[in-house]
Amino acid sequence: MYSFMKNIFTILLLIFITKSFAQEDAWIYLIDKPNVAASIANPTSILTQKAIDRKQNHNIAIDERDVPVNETYISDLKSQTGITVLAKSKWFNAVHIRGTEDDINALGNLTYVESIDFANQNLNTSSRSNSRLNKTETEDETIAFTYGDTQNQVEMINVDHLHLADFTGDGITIAVMDAGFPGVNTIDAFQRLRDNGDLLGGYDFVDRTSEVYDFIGSNHGTKVLSTMAGFVEDEYVGTAPEASYYVFRTEDAGSENPVEESYWVEAAERADSLGVDMINTSLGYQTFDNSNYNYTPADMNGETAFISKGASIAVEKGILVVVSAGNSGATDWQTVGAPADSPNVLSIGGVNADGDYVTFSSQGGAAQVGYQKPDVVARAGLAYVINENNTIVQNNGTSFSGPILCGGIAALWQAIPNALPTEIMDYVRQSASQYTDPDDFLGYGIPDLELAKNLALSLDEEPFEDFRIYPNPVKSNLNVILLSIVNQLEVSIYNQLGQEILNQFINENSKSINVSGLASGLYIIKLSTKSISKTFKFIKH
């Protein structure tokens, strides 16, 4: 009997040893890649020119699959117990590893592991429950964020609807220029950002150091970044929690000198070379410690201040620049500062939780000839932010309405990735609450980013050789130009809810539609023949 039990024990021990020490092959699929947007924007950093030329010749897009695997992840995998890294694939964003079944399954606890696929298919059923194979499903379930304190500032611009559709800024890279970013590399509110590999680094242009996270007189940048990228489960969600970010210190909080404008332009140039999509800044320049350097309200014309001219060049380079309007509304200065005065940037004023103008928000002024400032508004009154101590607090300032909306626009741009920066800005303005009747306090009003997305997706803006409409905006008669012979053209007009409110036919002898009875606002007009149709948008004053 003893001999029999000993044999059973030996067999069981051999089974245990075999299971514990037998080497298995597996593919570890990783959750993301570093600097995807920057790499695609600068393809020579990841591909040879010959490869780029070949893709262009065959009309093949350079995409995320061309971006290398995150070497930090590979290094960490190599350090894991019992794991040997054998190969990597950028096309699959995967690493081929070898180890025991238990050691491989243990990798499922790493935050950057998307899934595990054993070469031995019989092992995959058991491994799925222990690995992070269902991480994507979990993320899809939790995409319905519990916003907590940020609910009002998120819902006000309707970016929560974009989040529900999984548009959270993923793939959009934002450079934040500000005064200081202490705690961004350590506090829990940015842990999700760091774990996702979306904190791409930065630079301190004031002290010429890469130590950009030190506390040097200001925590302003930390608070600004939190409105976009902060995440505290069930308590706080920024407007672009899955965008990628660079942080640049360009403001010396201890002084006010024009050199800070130059630091800002340097940072913008760095951002351009890194391939960022957006710049957010809550800085503004008006007067300086040396009064000889002061600007005047009349100088806020977008063409005088060095920083404003630099911001305009950034836009010319294809970057969407979002700037806080300033906090001078209740002072003698009153008007927006630089670079918010540039006609090429999107300047953001402020409202309170009820959507009413807050008196400190800088206004449009006489210097902005022929263009509207601020452009639009978001919550600036007692906005919720997170400081360097990982504490959720409330602060006043357009310093926060700007990034709140910047993050929202990143989510919008993810939803309509083929749109140009200028088109994105137009959609944001057109979606705003007082687009047809702007003023110097709220500009075009509070944007509705879900509406902005729908406007972009429902309208084909490419030139159309058969039909044209004018004038646009229109007060009474909307005229149609027929560039080809059309016997009869059906006209349908829809409001922003998609409801048809007018339908009629026009021909060569009658090419005008009377829209004087329509309320002011944005409308969609569809022109159709039996074989073709074209959709336009127009504004009724």
Catalytic residues: 178, 220, 399
Count other C-beta atoms under 10 Å from residue 527's C-beta. Answer: 22
CA distance 350 to 334: 14
Helix 398-415 vs helix 449-458: crossing angle, to nearest 10: 30
For residues 354 and 153, is the Cβ–Cβ distance under 8 A?
no
Q: What stretch of H or E contains 404?
A: helix 398-415
The partner residues of 513 in beta bridges, in order of sequence, read 478
Tokens 């660079």 found at: 246
CA distance 155 to 164: 12
Chain centre distance of CA 343: 21
Q: How would you label 444-474 residue by residue, b for 16+ Cβ within 10 Å and e otherwise?
A: bbbbbbbbbbbbbeeeeeeeeebbbbeeeeb
**Residues near 271 by Cβ (< 8 Å), separated by ≥ 6?**
175, 246, 248, 279, 314, 319
- Cα-based distances in Å from 513 to 436, 492, 537: 20, 10, 14
Sheet holding 244-249, edge to edge: 199-204, 244-249, 173-178, 278-281, 320-324, 346-351, 376-379
Count other C-beta atoms under 10 Å from residue 54's C-beta. Answer: 12
Q: What is the CA radius of gyration of the chain?
A: 28
- Cα-based distances in Å from 34 to 65, 85, 88, 471: 12, 19, 15, 47
For residues 265 and 310, is the Cβ–Cβ distance under 8 A?
yes
Tokens 């002072």 found at: 331
Longest dimension (CA), the chain: 109
Count other C-beta atoms under 10 Å from residue 497's C-beta. Answer: 7
Tell how strand 346-351 and strand 320-324 pair up. parallel
Burial of 55 (0-12, 13-18, 19+ CB in 10 A): middle
For residues 178 and 282, is the Cβ–Cβ distance under 8 A?
yes
For residues 108 and 118, is the Cβ–Cβ distance under 8 A?
no
Tokens 């560039």 found at: 483
